Structure 1
Amino acid sequence: MAYTCMDPKDFEVSNPPSDGISAMSFSPQADFLAASSWDNQVRIYEVQPTGNTLAKAAYSHESPVLDVCWSKDGTKLVSGGADKAARLFDISTGQSSQVAEHAEPVKSVRFLDQGQNILATGSYDKTLKYWDLRSPQPIGTVQLPERCYTMDTTGPLLVVGTAEKHVLLFDLNNPTTIFKQAQSPLKWQTRSISCFTNGKGYAIGSIEGRVGIQYIEDKEQSKNFSFKCHRDDAKNVYAVNCINFHPVHGTFSTAGSDGTVSFWDKDCKQRLKAFGNCGGTIACSAFNKNGQIFAYAVSYDWSKGYKFATPTQKIYLHAVRDDDIKPRNKKR
């Protein structure tokens, strides 16, 4: 089945990566989209007001790149790779340099809100490391119970999801101490984690087509719930590959290996919008800085092993309609 977009009006990004797309991130300052790929490259695209895209820059790792994230001021980009390194790309100079290393592949990278130069890296070597970009050595290291699969941060909250369904919460005012340790509320392996925009909790997605909404404070635990998604009529179950919170409305998207995207409102516990099937797995997605553009990559996610790998990758840009993503009035 040929890949298609989830909405006929969506724009296709020109010059997409030549291998599986692992992660995407929009600059918080401008409409620049970064995409990391299994072809060892990170590419940066400029999204023009017309919806057309220009390939602006690219840089390389020595192995597949697994994650990518912008600095808060939009001047730098960091990526983590299977070459056990995190690399920093400076937009103004066009130069990249290694800024972090682990004993195993770097699966997740995030700039922290605590300062433009502070970076967190999570690895398959079962450590979380903090780096000050002005120093070659980590400024903090935390032993994790298992390999890091995913992480996200908002304000003082950092959430790490590892193998064996461990979830570790950090208060970045005390970054090397695990503030709270929990088990995923879902039955199967963790695939994605995304923090609420207000930092009061996180959404966690698994390989079994299910999302858990989890609050941090004990007094809000009664609001926790899980729901099924990314399943079909034939009872096939698909991974929730990516969860993104809308930067304005606090609603969120899920993208799955069933080839679909949905928008959701956690407070009303309902789906806001379901989009058409893209004919291939959706590996990752991202909202731009004001939530008016939603990027999604139709790209193999390796969920069925190398035999099912597809040669084509596409990135599409969807113009988000406010009515599709705005919270609904709560039911009385």
Structure 2
Amino acid sequence: MTSVHPPPISGRELADPPTDGISNLRYSNHSDHLLVSSWDKTVRLYDASANVLRGEFKHGGAVLDCCFHDDSSGFSASADNNVRRLVFNYGKEDILGRHDAPVRCIEYSYAAVGTKLSSVGILEVLVGRSALLLEQYPQPERVYSLSLVGNRLVVATAGRHVNVYDLRNMSQPEQRRESSLKYQTRCVRCYPNGTGYALSSVEGRVAMEFFDLSEASQAKKYAFKCHRKSEAGRDIVYPVNAIAFHPVYGTFATGGCDGFVNVWDGNNKKRLYQYSKYPTSVAALSFSRDGRLLAVASSYTFEEGDKPHEPDAIFVRSVNEIEVKPKPKVYPNTPA
């Protein structure tokens, strides 16, 4: 009889990982395919369930972001100043746009059909099958993170600026905001229900924000501490690199330079779960389309400078409902 060993608590490690820092990873909206960008100048396509590397694209510079178009193609943003379309089945790529600086972020909008977004400090919108440059939208500082929900685009930049756009009218931001967090923004992600966004910083905090500017809605916003620990009487604080919302329950996971992944119930302001520590910083997170799987990029992000560190790795863990489902509120004198 052959003994079967369960996967480690951190999840199953994918074969053939990138050989340098992982900049982002994303699950497809149509399958368990996983797209991964890296500083080793590659974009890799995995079948995460089968643990198989399906394809690899090599660029002329570090790849700083990637996203899917559909299950047959995707897009990449590179430090070689190019935006590319990647055709998975044929292993081919097209250069859609050449820029004057590295391209930091890229998003594809499913709401505004045919629209793709990339940023270099100037927001550039590319549309149509040929993805010709339509317009440029100067930003106040370097763009650090983008997020889309419906027709809303949130752009987080250096200087703690946050611009909110309506893709149907990009002439100017719908809202110009300043982060409520005191330190540099690391990641922004929109709520799946389209009512707002979560913003993380290098100082171990996350802010929960709402688009509706009414007094009642703004009274609901808050910020909380996370990814920090006390040692010898002092607080050690870690950057929060990644935020990923669960597609079914609307709860969310955060990943930090402390190597931990925490799952939060934003509505009830509670932590639901903490996974076992990963070998090094958690650089990126992504839930699969049905929320059954969570991909975790364990990749040192050089927050402590150039030093020996664990090899880059991608872990895929099965998600149990108890880890991500909000717990019902229990009121006094009410049975649990």
Q: TM-score range by the shorter chain?
A: over 0.9
Matched, 1:242 2:242: yes
Distance in 2 (alpha carbons) for counterparts of 1:80 and 1:9? 29
* Structure 1 position 155, deviation (Å): 0.4
Matched, 1:186 2:190: no
Distance in 2 (alpha carbons) for counterparts of 1:47 and 1:268? 32
- Which structure has more relative contact order (CA 8 Å, sep 6+)? It is 1
Percent of aligned pairs with the same amino acid: 34
Q: 1:117 to 1:201 in 2, by over 3 A?
A: same
Matched, 1:8 2:9: yes
Indicate if the aligned counterparts of 1:7 and 1:275 stay in contact, CA closer than 8 A.
no
* Structure 1 position 97, deviation (Å): 1.2
Structure 2 stretches lacking a partner, 5+ long: 1-6, 332-336
From 108, 111, 115, the counterpart of 2:108: 111
Indicate if the aligned counterparts of 2:263 and 2:273 stay in contact, CA closer than 8 A.
yes
Indicate if the aligned counterparts of 1:206 and 1:240 stay in contact, CA closer than 8 A.
yes
* Structure 1 position 116, deviation (Å): 4.3
Q: 1:7 to 1:250 in 2, by over 3 A?
A: farther
Indicate if the aligned counterparts of 2:280 and 2:310 stay in contact, CA closer than 8 A.
no
Which structure: larger Rg? Answer: 2
Matched to 2:53, the amino acid is: A
2:314 is paired with a residue of what secondary structure? strand
Distance in 2 (alpha carbons) for counterparts of 1:136 and 1:266? 37
* Structure 1 position 133, deviation (Å): 4.4
Q: CA-to-partner distance for each residue in 1:257-302, whole Å, 9 max, x for gaps?
A: 0000000011000001011212311111111111110000111112
Matched, 1:212 2:207: yes
**Count of aligned pairs between the two proteins:** 320
Matched to 2:31, the amino acid is: A
1:323 is paired with a residue of what secondary structure? helix
User: Superposed, which structure 2 residues align to 1:145-164 within 5 Å?
Assistant: 145-164=140-159
1:290 is paired with a residue of what secondary structure? coil
* Structure 1 position 136, deviation (Å): 5.5
Indicate if the aligned counterparts of 1:120 and 1:129 stay in contact, CA closer than 8 A.
yes
**CA RMSD across the alignment:** 1.5
Q: With structure 2 as the length reference, what TM-score do the two structures score? A: 0.92
Distance in 2 (alpha carbons) for counterparts of 1:327 and 1:87? 39
Structure-1 residue corresponding to 2:229: 232
Distance in 2 (alpha carbons) for counterparts of 1:261 and 1:311? 17
Distance in 2 (alpha carbons) for counterparts of 1:114 and 1:173? 10
Q: CA-to-partner distance for each residue in 1:117-153, whole Å, 9 max, x for gaps?
A: 2100011xx2101102434631121110000000110
Matched, 1:59 2:57: yes
Distance in 2 (alpha carbons) for counterparts of 1:100 and 1:331? 54
User: Superposed, which structure 2 residues align to 1:250-261 within 5 Å?
Assistant: 250-261=250-261
Q: Which moved more, 1:181-190 or 1:127-136?
A: 127-136
